[in-house]
Amino acid sequence: MRRLCMLTVVILISQPARAGYGICFKPSEPYCLDAPDIQDSCRYEIETYLRAYDNYLDCVAKDVADDKKKAVDKWNCRIKGHNAYSC
């Protein structure tokens, strides 16, 4: 049962964060780091966590870039003389 739970956690945190929907899932730190003794399997969990964290950072960066682009696009629309509701 413990192995099944660990596998589920690994699968969930190894999925790429989804950008474009305004939702980026920050991965949880692997449970093995809090274990009394660190086992070899912890290395795989850490590597998986680091990949998931990189995906999370990419997602956040994309969301921030999208927000910035929307603001610039709206500004450009407004300076062309359009009202706020049409931009």
35-77, pLDDT tens digit by residue?
A: 888 888 899 999 999 999 999 999 999 999 999 999 999 999 9
pLDDT of res. 21: 57
Average pLDDT over residues 15-30: 73
Average pLDDT over residues 32-37: 88
Average pLDDT over residues 6-31: 66
- Asked whether residue 4 carries a pLDDT value surpassing 60, the answer given is no
Domain ranges of the chain: 2-79
Q: Which H or E run contains 73?
A: helix 41-79
Does the pTM surpass 0.75? The reply is: no
